[in-house]
Amino acid sequence: MAKTLLEQLKSMTVVVADTGDMQSMEKFKPQDATTNPSLLEKAAKMPAYQQIVDETLKKARAAKAGASDKDVANEAFKELAVAFGAKILEIVPGRVSTEVDARLSYDTEGTIATARDIIARYKKLGIGTDRVLIKIASTWEGIKAAEVLEKEGIHCNLTLLFGLHQAIACAEGGITLISPFVGRILDWYKKDTGKTYVGAEDPGVQSVTNVYNYFKKFGYKTLVMGASFRNIGEIRELAGCDLLTISPDLLAELDANTEELPKKLDAEKAKSLQIEKLTIDKATFDTMHAADRMATDKLKEGIEGFAKALEGLEALLAKRLTEISATVAV
């Protein structure tokens, strides 16, 4: 029987589930899983996870006795992210990525403190640092925070990554993993040029390919995890990448297709490529970022989007907290 695209992909790339829905993880059996505020907000609205939400809210209320519903909801978000992460780790054999508050994206010290807090919450549940990646936006401040955390043995996943300057800064900082956003890069170019891109012409595919080849050429240990896919064509073009994080809908498409999947990215081939080596300090990072309209636009938009999703999740939790309090009062 012919192997599906998903089966073939798993033979050359670590497949990661990009969702907060644990039922889809049980179905597609990824190695790792990633979450973000948008995915957590979506999962928190599902009836299947209402018990986790309610238990988390009660725990947060006990920890913040006398605090406002808003403060309790903020505490509950942190606890909920870890609660979902712990449940996910009962399903996936590898690691889960848990995100730092996007509103701290330009706050190095705040990011470090929050990451340590997340890890401490996991440790209380008996989950070690080897199974958790802390997701941080790829701002200069975020990358510097991740450098500190990596030296403490806290592994990081630098997200909202759109430019080579961000990727190189992460690699030079010894970051465990980066998540370049394939689909969001494509979105920007389609809007900016009005063109349609297919296959290897896709600017998001080209961006991740360039980062992957750069890392392998110069022997960086930082892993590349393509993210934010719009179609399985993008995934096929990045077969062989270290990791790919894929939504349930696209996992289902890959699982239903039995065409042949050639390996497109190859670490050994990358070593023979002619690539200029760059050194990224803050001045170079800022200059390259300012010159890259796409990276500038998408990083700003991504941080604002995650912050808005977080505010939406906190509002949802505050509303549910009021409902629970009313039920108890009755």
Token pair recorded at residue 139: 């701002």
Domain total for the chain? 1
Q: With cut-offs at 50, 70 and 90, classify the pLDDT of residue 216.
A: very high
Given pLDDT bands bounded at 50, 70 and 90, which one contains residue 330?
very low
Q: Is residue 121 predicted with pLDDT exceeding 80?
A: yes
Would you place residue 327 in the very low, low, confident or very high pLDDT band (cuts 50, 70, 90)?
confident
pLDDT tens for 25-54 read 999 999 999 888 787 888 888 888 888 888
CA distance 281 to 114: 25
State how far the alpha carbon of 95 is from the alpha carbons of 7, 270, 273, 328, in Å: 20, 27, 32, 37
pLDDT of amino acid 127: 98
Is the pLDDT at 102 greater than 50, yes or no? yes
Please state which of the ranges 1-5, 29-33, 50-54, 175-179 shows the lowest mean pLDDT: 50-54
Secondary structure, 3-state, the chain: CCCCHHHHHHCCCEEEEECCCHHHHHHHCCCEEECCHHHHHHHHCCHHHHHHHHHHHHHHHHHCCCCCHHHHHHHHHHHHHHHHHHHHCCCCCCCEEEECCHHHCCCHHHHHHHHHHHHHHHHHCCCCHHHEEEEEECCHHHHHHHHHHHHCCCCEEEEEECCHHHHHHHHHCCCCEEEEEHHHHHHHHHHHHCCCCCHHHCHHHHHHHHHHHHHHHCCCCCEEEEECCCCHHHHHHCCCCCEEEECHHHHHHHHCCCCCCCCCCCHHHHCCCCCCCCCCCHHHHHHHHHHCHHHHHHHHHHHHHHHHHHHHHHHHHHHHHHHHHHHHHC
At residue 328, the pLDDT reads 60
- Between residues 110 and 322, the one the model is more confident about: 110
pLDDT average, residue stretch 261-270: 98
Asked whether 84 and 52 are in contact (CB, 8 A), the reply is yes
Determine the pLDDT at residue 254: 97
Question: Looking at per-residue confidence, does 81 or 108 come out higher?
Answer: 108
**Residues designated catalytic:** 135
The pair of structure tokens assigned to 138 is 């790829």
Banded pLDDT at 317 (limits 50, 70, 90): confident
Residue 224 phi/psi, 5-degree rounding, is -110, 125
Residue 227 banded pLDDT, cuts 50, 70, 90: very high
Residues 6+ away with beta carbon under 8 Å from 235 = 9, 226, 229, 244, 246, 250, 254
Mean pLDDT, the chain, integer: 93
In Å, how far from its chain's centre is CA 132?
12
Q: What is the pLDDT of residue 190?
A: 97
pTM confidence score: 0.92
Are 186 and 204 contacting, i.e. CB atoms less than 8 angstroms apart? yes
Cα–Cα distance for residue pair 309/328, rounded to 1 Å = 29
pLDDT tens per residue across span 9-23: 999 999 999 988 888
pLDDT of 329 reads: 52
> pLDDT above 90 covers what percent of the chain?
76
Question: What domain range includes position 162?
Answer: 5-329
Check pLDDT > 90 for residue 116: yes
Q: Within 10 A of 267 (CB to CB), how many other CB atoms are there?
A: 14
Segment 186-211, tens digit of pLDDT: 999 999 999 999 999 999 999 999 99
Residue 62 has pLDDT above 80, yes or no: yes
CATH of the domain at 270: 3.20.20.70
CA-CA distance, 287 to 171, in Å (whole number)? 18
